[in-house]
Amino acid sequence: MLKVPTLVVVAMLLWQLPAAAQSPSEPPAADSSPWTFKLTPYAWLTFMSGQQTVRGRTVNVDTNFVREFSSSESLVPVMGYFEARWRDKISLFVDVLYANMTAGAGGTRNFFPEPGVAGWVAASTALNYETLIVEFGATYEVVKVGPTTTNGVGQTAFDFLMGGRYWLQRADLTLTLGGGVNVNTSDLQFSADGSRAFARSGNVQWVDPVLGFRVRHKLAENQDLSLEADLGGFGMGSRISAQAVGTYAYRFGRSGSVDWSVVLGYRALYVDYSRGSGNDLFRMNILQHGPIIGVNARF
């Protein structure tokens, strides 16, 4: 699978925007349509920790996007978000995330049972973790508070969120063993390495129902804050899943009917899912979190 240089893609999007974009403070032209649309491709630079069990074998996971720079097929998890909002009251959204990451651990132990005799034992584990997550749902603005202004500056909106989160997971666990003994007195040497054991989960998929809320605050005419939190699973898919996302958007220009913004934020996503038992047990108890950066097009 080809590597996905996400940061390069985001940089190209920024570079190709019209240089003569209008001033960020210029208000958008009046539009009679009740619909507005938002498209946001962005990169999620993740730290991942927890435990992954494949075919009854458990490995601890502790990795981040820096370690993945050279080893993963997908350089960083890639996210794309699309939202359609009606009269600034009701919205429909879909959020797609794909990641392919590798985590590993290992060590070597030396031993000297007798003079002239030396030995070593080494073991390492490697986990290849591939995931596709698709979130979908709707939000409804319950209340909006703050000063009544034409541009909405200073107002805070509270939205109720309801939807689902589809998971498709695949994990391959590899255990590699090696060892050797050197007997110097008799020039006898023995070594063995390369013994491997594999555990493959195959495709594991489920859907979590999701309930949550979103808070939107307009800092300035061209600056917006958003905070979202949700809970999912409730034993109907995973045992529990939870997510929190905070973003800051700065509108820096306008091209035709499209407002362009840079988006900075932080996202955390936790899931605890299990299926099967014994040698057929698959369990995913993972926390992913990290900064996000992207470009938002609103039209």
pLDDT value, residue 190 = 47
pLDDT value, residue 184 = 57
What structural domains does the chain harbor?
Answer: 6-17+36-290 (2.40.128)
The amino acid that residue 231 corresponds to is L
Residue 129 has pLDDT above 80, yes or no: no
- Centre a 10 Å sphere on the Cβ of residue 96 and count the other Cβ atoms it contains: 16
pLDDT value, residue 196 = 52
Residue 221 has pLDDT above 80, yes or no: yes
Question: Given pLDDT bands bounded at 50, 70 and 90, which one contains residue 41?
Answer: very high
pLDDT value, residue 89 = 94
User: Quick one: CA dihedral 9, 15, 18, 21, positive or negative?
Assistant: positive
Counting runs of H as helices and runs of E as strands, what totals does the chain give?
A: 1, 13
CA–CA gap between residue 246 and residue 248 (Å, rounded): 7
Question: Given pLDDT bands bounded at 50, 70 and 90, which one contains residue 126?
Answer: low
pLDDT value, residue 160 = 98
- Write the CA distances from 277 to 108, 270, 281, 282, integer angstroms: 31, 22, 4, 8
pLDDT value, residue 117 = 53
User: What rounded mean pLDDT belongs to the chain?
Assistant: 79
pLDDT more than 70, % of the chain: 67
Confidence (pTM): 0.76
Name, of 57-66, 187-196, 280-289, the range with top average pLDDT: 280-289
What would the mean pLDDT of 149-174 be, rounded to a whole number?
89
pLDDT value, residue 171 = 73
pLDDT value, residue 3 = 46
What would the mean pLDDT of 263-281 be, rounded to a whole number?
93
CA–CA gap between residue 235 and residue 108 (Å, rounded): 41
Q: What angle do CA 29, 248, 48 make, to 5 degrees?
A: 140
What would the mean pLDDT of 44-72 be, rounded to a whole number?
77
Burial 59-90, CB ≥16 within 10 A → b, else e: bebebbbebbeeebebbbbbbebebebeeeee
pLDDT more than 90, % of the chain: 48
Task: Choose among 166, 157, 98: nearest CA to 137.
Answer: 166
Task: Choose among 212, 233, 215, 236: nearest CA to 224.
Answer: 215
What would the mean pLDDT of 162-182 be, rounded to a whole number?
76
Question: Given pLDDT bands bounded at 50, 70 and 90, which one contains residue 32?
Answer: confident
CA–CA gap between residue 118 and residue 286 (Å, rounded): 40
User: In this predicted model, what pLDDT tens digit does every residue of 80-103 receive, in sequence order?
Assistant: 999 999 998 999 999 999 887 665
Residue 34 has pLDDT above 80, yes or no: yes
Q: Which residue has the higher pLDDT, 118 or 274?
A: 274
Contact of 251 with 223, CB cutoff 8 Å: yes
